[in-house]
Structure 1
Amino acid sequence: MDVLHDLRVESGELDDLVAPLDDWSVPTPAEGWTIAHQVAHLAWTDRASLLAVRDPDAFTAGLAGYDERTVDRAAAEGAERPDLLAHWRTGRDELSAALAEVPAGEKLVWFGPRMSATSMATARLMETWAHGQDVADALGVVRAPSDRLRHVAHIGARTVAFAFLVNNLAPPTDPVRVELAAPGGGVWTWGPEDAENRVTGQALDFCLLVTQRRHRDDLDVTAVGPVAREWLPIAQAFAGPPGGGRARS
């Protein structure tokens, strides 16, 4: 899977940001989360993914103790680990190797619907990029966009119905066409070409929108059509309840 290579590169770029730091207690844009919390969350989710691959029964049994506070508790506990960087590195390497061995067509258990190994790797890249953005923002670093953003944009474009559902809204029946200017040139597209509802803009801005790392008003993303206009303010590429997003700058 090409996405596994891209996931390793994405993780490595974030590693390069945090490894030299003496102080991981720097606050990030996520309320209450420091840089250590961000990395701890990635490490925790990698380990959860690894368990889903290696021992689906144990993963499913663990869902009984999962609630909306689990993520924050895990991040807080992980942030205190003296070996957090090594813990994250080991977990993400083990997960990458495990996903590479999953047979084609096999569906893996998860917090939501079962997913393929490719989908799980894509989700891990999306989260790594999004939480890496929080770290970059905390450090005042501007990251150059890459074509790895296609994985993030893909999830964003494919989760229109999900965004409506988690906001207690009826999923739309009309499709949405997404057309994005890729960082390396060219255009990435999803959805039927003749769709009435359309979203266009820069791929980076769309990814920042669907991961809720920037306010829509601060981004070069345009919606045409009633479904597209209703979707963008609630768009989210991540699982779980609706996020709070970011304030307008």
Structure 2
Amino acid sequence: MADPTPLSVFDDLRAESDELDDAVAELGPERWALQTPASGWTVAHQIAHLAWTDHSALLAVTDEDGFRELVEKALAAPDSFVDEGAEEGARMPPAELLARWREGRTALDQALRAAPPGARIPWYGPPMSAASMATARLMETWAHGLDVADALGVTRPPTDRLRHIARLGFRTRDFAHVVHQVPVPADPFRVELAGPSGELWVFGPEDAPQRVTGPALDFCLLVTQRANRADLALRAEGPDADRWLDIAQAFAGPPGTGRPAKGDAR
């Protein structure tokens, strides 16, 4: 399977968002208040966070000065900035919050598609292309959608949209080492994953001495820290690849705390 095109990333982000929208659109207020696996976050917090981050991304694409002010606020309160944004949105009536999320993600979709070829969009980490920004938004939408599904007691079947997230997880290998203050491996890795449709997705040189293999879903759960490594069917060959599976994260920011293994006491 060839690497996804920029257009397919935009289309897949829209599809991922619409699928999550369908899951929450008809919920009553009491279900918006259900607790999710993220400590202290309800379904409303999860959707509010997506709306808040979409707004941040829209500013980054369309208003660099406005986004710069947002970054300054984040630097002034690094431990609480994200939670405060989610908390503010979660206090809104569900219908109003849902409308805000829909409006924001539609505006972001249009802005990303209209971005000039080769444009570099500022972010909390290094600047990125419009396609990379869409990939990051798809990753977050999928991961927070899993938390919502868990709270609602439903299952969201994996799709081949996961290829974008798997590729991002592979490309953020070095970043994960840096944020965990672990030396970056000198040699590249090979990653071989079985996609939901049965296709084999491969990243990295074929002759790499160290590799990771397993289901694409499990790899995506790992790099978004939605499941503990102990509960996943991923195999590492080589000590550096093995260590990577303990620290992998595809999202920006400080090291994530991850999720406990299913057998751990809560």
**Which bin holds the TM-score, normalised by the shorter protein?**
over 0.9
Q: In the alignment, what sits opposite 2:4?
A: none
Alignment-mate amino acid for residue 94 of structure 1: A
Task: Give me the identity figure in percent.
Answer: 60
Residue correspondence of structure 1 range 1-249 to structure 2 within 5 A = 1-22=7-28, 23=30, 24-66=32-74, 67-82=78-93, 83-249=96-262
Write the deviation string for residues 114-172 of structure 1: whole angstroms up to 9, x where unpaired: 00000000000000000000001111111111000001111101111111111111211
2:191 is paired with a residue of what secondary structure? strand
**5+ residue gaps, structure 2:** 1-6
State the TM-score, normalized to the length of structure 2: 0.92
Alignment-mate amino acid for residue 220 of structure 2: C
1:106 is paired with a residue of what secondary structure? coil
Looking at structure 1, the residues matched to 105 and 73 of structure 2 have their Cα atoms a distance apart, in angstroms, of 24
Write the deviation string for residues 27-59 of structure 1: whole angstroms up to 9, x where unpaired: 000001000000000000000000001111221
1:131 is paired with a residue of what secondary structure? helix
Looking at structure 2, the residues matched to 68 and 50 of structure 1 have their Cα atoms a distance apart, in angstroms, of 23
**5+ residue gaps, structure 1:** none
8 Å contact kept, 1:174–1:227: no
Looking at structure 2, the residues matched to 213 and 28 of structure 1 have their Cα atoms a distance apart, in angstroms, of 12
Alignment-mate amino acid for residue 65 of structure 1: K
2:236 is paired with a residue of what secondary structure? strand
Alignment RMSD = 0.8
Shift of 1:191: 0.6
Higher deviation after alignment, 45-54 or 163-172: 163-172
2:121 is paired with a residue of what secondary structure? coil
Write the deviation string for residues 85-119 of structure 1: whole angstroms up to 9, x where unpaired: 00000000000000000011110011100000000
Looking at structure 1, the residues matched to 70 and 228 of structure 2 have their Cα atoms a distance apart, in angstroms, of 35
Higher deviation after alignment, 118-127 or 135-144: 135-144
Shift of 1:220: 1.1
8 Å contact kept, 1:214–1:248: yes
Looking at structure 1, the residues matched to 245 and 178 of structure 2 have their Cα atoms a distance apart, in angstroms, of 14
Shift of 1:62: 2.4
Looking at structure 1, the residues matched to 65 and 183 of structure 2 have their Cα atoms a distance apart, in angstroms, of 33
Looking at structure 2, the residues matched to 170 and 61 of structure 1 have their Cα atoms a distance apart, in angstroms, of 33
State the TM-score, normalized to the length of structure 1: 0.98
2:40 is paired with a residue of what secondary structure? coil
